Structure 1
């Protein structure tokens, strides 16, 4: 580090501060179980009109488990906060990696900023019941201010906050599920919304991307790899634990709601009650105090997801700044807290600008910000997971390894085909997902934004190759770029 840099700035993330439980807390908090159950699943039912949402969660969990096989195998060899960006760079080449980086920044910012719509609206509705009347954007900006402050503090402190919130919201979700299943609408428990036939029903693409949006965050285990005590062990365990917990909880909870309303009335009920549906269904059977605690946890669930995605975006910016793909200021961290300070502040600034724009436009915070923007974020992560599955195969094909055929080739290839199929179906049904007319320009505008972002990244990488080859050569190397790891076979065969 240059002596001219401020004393409070470092070029490395804080190492050794996170264990398995902390990483699991971050990634499941990003997935926000209670937010997905009370907000994502109900809004998915309402907007898409598809009753197969519970099955979609389970199908996606299986596909992502296949994806995780190769993803985790690669994480044992590459420890880098850049995650998807790094893996695509190492498996498909530096230009593809730079394109993936721009897609990742757009996708994770969409997830994080979109959640402010849900947080603001739900908090405004909750406080209105206590006589505190203020528009949604006021409360969204309050949440923004808290996230902005926590974003530059020690990450292990953030992890403890998220762990407490996470355990509480999972307990509440399971209690609510038990109440709903034990009080079925028609006097008998129905499994219709879990029927395999839904896989072939109209609108399944919309249901699948709604489900994938609920899982976004589980792949973020790798983003925190540089800050864990034992990256190779921690990341693998955290990834599988996060996927198993969220998959089972989402599928069970979405199904439980359909049991309580009746499978043929779940869409109508979701459209009538929105994010309040789950509370409406259990309130006759639980005390007011329990419902109030659950509503508070729904709000804190949204907040936990906001904080977790904020950390993810900041660390992507850090990884790109460290490698000079973005201005080097992004690659600096606070020496006192180890947080990527510049990236954190920039993400907060972008979020504030979008919130102000939505407030001035008087847009619907739930539909236009929470649902539209977060599902678009989910689409971006789906694109990245598809690319990464292919990159895993490319990476292991270039090196000598002992991972075995299943981890290095079969599982990632199957995952690539499955994710690619879901992606194709999703793009074809994006109008259904958004709840707009088939000829609406929005159905293509949102997906096209990723094509533009990816192309800009690829073009920038090619410009770097021509004008700053030393920067181009370091793309995807991250913390390894100044170490003897550069001389290992894995990196010697790194594609141009």
Structure 2
């Protein structure tokens, strides 16, 4: 029998928990709007020109629909595992385990790309402020070691720090937008990007890799369920509001950047280093002092993203090891309670990939970022499709006081729309990656191999153990944490966390 929906007021801590504004804040902070607009919009312009503007609108609308079923199942299925928990509830633990393997490889790609991006922008910032130009790879090594150290010590970016950075990001973007609007852009304010023919432009699918990626993280509202005040009301409100704010903010921000660049010269501006586009425009419309602040904020924002991906990926490795899909040694934890072996493995894989990319001369911005973020968003879209199907499956078996719109129609429609987006993305991904069919197949291959491995391995694992792999990236069993001062240590305790499935 499936668990019933949690009650709204279960404890004093929940009554004093996070409200709607706080939950929206967490999502927006994770989204890092300055990073998306400064880092992704220039790449989107390279791939699809002014299609990048409406490119943000479509995923926002799709995700508003997806959120209907997603927040509904969150009211009835306990746990903070987000996608994996709900996939397991609707389609079974083994399917959830396979999804976990795909998710891990996707997030690994995301961390590789974010580290490359952070290194590029850090190199440019150092050169701009000091005149010293450093190669991106040594910077990537330093960032990876820093992130590994923080991960092992269970040191994250504090809420107060994130709050200050988010406010600063929004402020610097607002100053830029106001300056562009007051000055009328480069050649007047033009709404050509919203013309009727642009809504069905063939260039749109080419930017979906970037624009769908920009919304990744909104689903994390459910992770905070146990810390949220009146979660059955707060989580849906926060999810819808966060997606709506991102939709409007990204669309407006991309349009402002296009106005500053000017339709007539945007191609010429992108022929240089596209990663410098937004900073060049900010220099022109606001001034170099504001640009220096913007540069620093972009770097710190990217590094915060790398930290989040490192923490998430390491916890996926722990859960997949506990579920028997990966070697049991990966579940070993440090005395701080943070993943030990998994953190080292994750950092090692990131460094190996970046060294290989550097050795073959891949451009860290126009190539590494697109080649690694493509499997990331494909993985996320696959998880969203499976989640939507799981919602329908779960409520078909478990009758609840919910409407057909929230349990069947909306999730079915979102599954169809996300599938269409996925097909279009794969069909047009060459416009962004710059690769042919064979090269694009290589980009997607890690996901296919991960899914195949997960399927084969899950068949050999008992369903009850496979459930451990679906508890979510933030879930680590307290029993797996070694006691730094054990009163009666037993050899069986450590063997239990290292046993291979």
Q: Same fold (TM over 0.5)?
A: yes
The answer to whether the aligner puts 1:460 opposite 2:457 as a matched pair is yes
Q: CA deviation at 1:419?
A: 0.6
The answer to whether the aligner puts 1:426 opposite 2:425 as a matched pair is yes
The answer to whether the aligner puts 1:403 opposite 2:402 as a matched pair is yes
The answer to whether the aligner puts 1:471 opposite 2:468 as a matched pair is no
The aligned residue for residue 283 of structure 1 is: 283
The aligned residue for residue 497 of structure 2 is: none
CA distance in 1, matches of 2:67, 2:117: 29
SS at match of 2:152: coil
Structure 1's 475 and 144: CA in aligned 2 closer, same or farther, altered over 3 A?
closer
The answer to whether the aligner puts 1:213 opposite 2:210 as a matched pair is no
Structure 1's 77 and 349: CA in aligned 2 closer, same or farther, altered over 3 A?
farther
The aligned residue for residue 253 of structure 2 is: 253
Q: CA contact under 8 A between 2:54 and 2:193: conserved in structure 1? A: yes
The aligned residue for residue 202 of structure 1 is: 202
Structure 1's 402 and 342: CA in aligned 2 closer, same or farther, altered over 3 A?
farther
The aligned residue for residue 381 of structure 2 is: 382
Matches within 5 A, 1:77-476: 77-129=76-128, 130-154=130-154, 158-185=158-185, 187-223=187-223, 225=225, 235-263=235-263, 265-331=265-331, 336=336, 338-436=337-435, 439-464=436-461, 468=462, 470-472=464-466, 476=470
Q: CA deviation at 1:305?
A: 1.3
Q: CA deviation at 1:230?
A: 7.0
1:11-60 Cα distance to aligned partner (Å, 9 max, x none): xxxx99984677655543443211110110111111x1332111110111
Q: CA contact under 8 A between 2:33 and 2:169: conserved in structure 1? A: yes
Q: CA contact under 8 A between 1:205 and 1:429: conserved in structure 2? A: yes
1:321-352 Cα distance to aligned partner (Å, 9 max, x none): 4444434555565564x544443333222222
Structure 1's 161 and 69: CA in aligned 2 closer, same or farther, altered over 3 A?
same
Q: CA contact under 8 A between 2:121 and 2:299: conserved in structure 1? A: yes
CA distance in 2, matches of 1:49, 1:345: 38
CA distance in 2, matches of 1:65, 1:174: 25
1:467-496 Cα distance to aligned partner (Å, 9 max, x none): x454246664677999xxxxxxxxxxxxxx
Q: CA contact under 8 A between 2:107 and 2:376: conserved in structure 1? A: yes
Q: CA contact under 8 A between 1:30 and 1:309: conserved in structure 2? A: no
Structure 1's 399 and 264: CA in aligned 2 closer, same or farther, altered over 3 A?
farther
Q: CA contact under 8 A between 2:83 and 2:387: conserved in structure 1? A: yes
Q: CA deviation at 1:311?
A: 2.3
Q: TM-score, normalised by structure 2?
A: 0.83
List runs of 5+ in structure 1 lacking aligned partners: 1-14, 483-496
Structure 1's 317 and 226: CA in aligned 2 closer, same or farther, altered over 3 A?
farther
Q: CA contact under 8 A between 2:97 and 2:466: conserved in structure 1? A: no
Q: CA contact under 8 A between 1:56 and 1:208: conserved in structure 2? A: yes
1:423-450 Cα distance to aligned partner (Å, 9 max, x none): 11111112112123xx441122222332
The aligned residue for residue 73 of structure 1 is: 72
Range with bigger deviation, 22-31 or 49-58: 22-31
CA distance in 1, matches of 2:477, 2:75: 17
Q: CA RMSD in A?
A: 3.0
Structure 1's 169 and 375: CA in aligned 2 closer, same or farther, altered over 3 A?
farther
SS at match of 1:441: helix
CA distance in 2, matches of 1:321, 1:229: 33
Range with bigger deviation, 392-401 or 273-282: 273-282
Structure 1's 157 and 294: CA in aligned 2 closer, same or farther, altered over 3 A?
closer
Count of paired positions: 461
1:139-169 Cα distance to aligned partner (Å, 9 max, x none): 1122212221222345675333323222211
